[in-house]
Amino acid sequence: MNSYDADDRALTLQINIAAIDAPYAKYNVPHLARAHRAAAREIILTIDRCKPQRTRQTDPDQRCKEPEFSHKLDDLEALGEQLTADRLVDRVVVLRGDDPWLAQVTRKYSGRWVPETHDYGGRPITGYWAGIEAAKTRYVIHYDGDMFLHQEPGFDWAVHALHFMETQERALSASPRLTPPYASRIEVGDYGSAREAMPLFPVPGGWKQYFFSTRAFVVDRRKLESYLPLARGRMLLEQMAVKHLRRGFPRSAEKMLWFTAGREGGYRLILSTEKAWLLHPIWKPDEYADWVPAIIESVVNNRVPQEQLGNPELQLKAWQQFLSTIAYDADVARPRRASE
């Protein structure tokens, strides 16, 4: 296990990628790394070579077909080497299922009864824990490798979050706005997202939410460790019940955080500042990667289609139409601040 200085306010940036990210990682990883290069003491790229275990929903032989699966991961390792040479990444951590260190990390975070690396749907669990544990600082910024970030020049949302996390005892993690600012453009009140299913409550700096998304966050490791292992109490009982019934075992990393940390009062702070916001792609057809560079450029420049306002999930069809017309209309659907 890696030690860290609990009194140090330094930041580590950690980005997770897996085989599924191979078509677009060469765009998204540099995009995210550049956003935090000035603020991060170290940037870690985590490459997950672990295959999900077999469940009713996931067949690893189909989901991770060889040799394509290994070839994609080899390409990602080569990308990591190139990004290290370019000084966009400082360290590459490759996760392998037979690594004793990874087993120790899993036991520390998930507990002895949940050794699996992925949840029942094939989504990573251990990859998140390992990315946090690999850092040498108390505060760790994490991104999934497919995220898009808008951040104003000279501003770093994670640095901005530290004051609020330090003054709010139960603020375990923080995230930027989940969508482009939209209050001045669509007729709903200002909120973390116009499509948010889980309740948010106003606090200094933004809103608190007891659900923990693993897409993008900065986490206080000292606070997180007070909730470990996450599969304990009611969460452990649920894990064992669904394992016995063969219905959705193991639960996701997000649900473990929600059930354990959230039920004990820990929360995620969603920042209200309009200087940074996120987008996450759900639908990724074959041509998706071809659109990523143009989407990144537009997001960086704070330009999005009208249909994207208030929606945290990237609206690819709207983006395709928007990017086809943006060259002819410099003002189309540019997000504006509520004060404008």
Q: Across all residues in the chain, what is the average pLDDT?
A: 90
Q: Is the pLDDT of residue 135 over 60?
A: yes
- pLDDT tops 50 at residue 18: yes
The residue among 58, 73, 57, 86 whose CA lies nearest residue 145 is: 73
Nearest-CA neighbor of 33 among 176, 147, 133?
147
pLDDT, position 253: 92
Q: Please report the pLDDT score of residue 339 as a whole number.
A: 38
Tell me, what amino acid is at 281? P
- The pLDDT tens digits of the residues spanning 85-115 come to 999 999 999 999 999 999 999 999 999 999 9
Whole-prediction pTM: 0.90
More confident residue, 249 or 10: 10
- pLDDT above 90 coverage of the chain, percent: 72
Q: For residue 290, give every residue at least 6 positions away whose Cβ sits within 8 Å of its Cβ, in sequence order, or none.
A: none
- Mean of the pLDDT values across residues 28-44? 98
Range in 2-16, 124-138, 282-296 with the lowest mean pLDDT: 2-16
Q: Once rounded to an integer, what is the mean pLDDT over residues 148-161?
A: 98
28 has a pLDDT exceeding 70: yes
Q: Which residue has the higher pLDDT, 80 or 329?
A: 80
Percent of the chain with pLDDT strictly greater than 70:
90
Return the domain boundaries, the chain.
11-328
**pLDDT for residue 330 is more than 70:** no
Please report the DSSP string for 100-168 in residue order: HHHHHHHHHHH-TT---SB-TTS-BSHHHHHHHHH-SSSEEEEEETT-EEEE-TT--HHHHHHHHHHHS
* Separation of alpha carbons 229 and 231, rounded Å: 6
Compute the average pLDDT of residues 301-317.
Answer: 93
Name the 3-class secondary structure at 218: strand
Query: Residue 233 carries which DSSP code?
Result: H
Q: What is the pLDDT of residue 333?
A: 44
CATH tag, 11-328 = 3.90.550
Is the predicted pLDDT of residue 197 greater than 90, yes or no? no
pLDDT at residue 340 above 80?
no
Mean pLDDT (whole number) for 222-250:
83
65 vs 67: CA distance, rounded Å: 6
Strand partners, 48: 18, 95
pLDDT at 218: 99
Structure confidence at residue 320 (pLDDT): 94
Task: Kindly report which listed range (50-54, 97-101, 150-154, 229-233) carries the lowest average pLDDT score.
Answer: 229-233
pLDDT band at 138 (very low <50, low <70, confident <90, very high): very high
Reported as a single tens digit per residue, the pLDDT across 173-192 is: 999 999 998 755 545 455 56
Residue 329 confidence class, pLDDT cut points 50, 70, 90: low
